[in-house]
Amino acid sequence: MNTPSDRPVLEIRGLRIDLPGTARPVLVDGHDVLALDADRLRALRTGTAAMIFQDPRAAINPLRRIGDFLTESVCLTGTTTVKAARARAVELLEAVGLDASALAKYPGQVSGGMLQRVMIAAALMGDPVLLLADEPTTALDVTTQAEVIALLGKLRERFGTGLLFVTHDLDLAAAISDRVYVMYAGRIAESGPADEVFERPRHPYTAALLASTPRMENPRGRLAAVDGQPPDLRAELTGCAFAARCALATEICDRQAPPSLPAPGRPDHKAACHHSDRLGRTAVDA
């Protein structure tokens, strides 16, 4: 079972965020976000962390103008005036490649790519320390996706905002991330620098994901599949969550959850696997 010291920690502009281990909450500056009252949670969402949702059309009221969407939340906090909020909205719209004319438009009057830019601007309205992007490019075409990814990189540098990017796209994660956390069944299976995790995976699940990714050098080759089904998360997991689908699994995997241990000589690359020493780079090509 994971101990508090096993928990991955993000430190951004003086803010400490403890990501969940097994059956443990997310802590922001030592506070359990699920235990905060409404006022403290609102303050957290306004000035500390913000979110970019997967589908902007599902997150923005189609009957309200974009200007209202951008300014309403920060005005409700009482920390700024309507005039200042509107000026901030124009500044951020320009930062994401739009202009002030977007304020008067309704969501249905702009494209999906433009609306995702509006969503990014809205997330930055409160100058958050952390920006949580939940599959923000899934609903976009490939060209617009590339534009949004490049935009997020520029905004991260300009505003000094930390970016936590949630995705199922391994190639996208490799292109945008400094560090990667691979999760399975609600647990962090592997974490470390992006290039090292993808080149030298130390968890069988990471290796299986990489093996199932299409490659240009073998366009007609059969993709590898991960046999079996994910565990029922309604039941208590006593061992390794991936054991039933893992070719390396032994008896200890069924009865004991593996600790998250560093690779030899690489303390920043960890894997929660009893047999990570048996998994080498060749596992990716298996």
The arrangement of strands across the sheet holding 49-52 comes to 49-52, 130-134, 162-166
Q: Average of pLDDT values for 223-238?
A: 87
What is the extent of the structural domain holding 80? 36-166
- The answer on 157 and 43 residing in a single domain is yes
- The answer on 154 and 69 residing in a single domain is yes
User: What was the pLDDT predicted at 19?
Assistant: 67
- The answer on 132 and 55 residing in a single domain is yes
Does residue 55 sit within a domain?
yes
Does residue 29 sit within a domain?
no
Does residue 3 sit within a domain?
no
User: What was the pLDDT predicted at 18?
Assistant: 75
Q: Which of 61-65, 70-74, 78-82, 130-134 has the lowest mean pLDDT?
A: 78-82
Does residue 11 sit within a domain?
no
Does residue 7 sit within a domain?
no
User: What was the pLDDT predicted at 76?
Assistant: 81
3 — pLDDT class (breaks 50, 70, 90):
very low
Does residue 24 sit within a domain?
no
- The answer on 143 and 209 residing in a single domain is no
- The answer on 107 and 205 residing in a single domain is no
248 — pLDDT class (breaks 50, 70, 90):
very high
218 — pLDDT class (breaks 50, 70, 90):
low
Domain count, the chain: 2
Say what the pTM is: 0.81
- The answer on 239 and 123 residing in a single domain is no
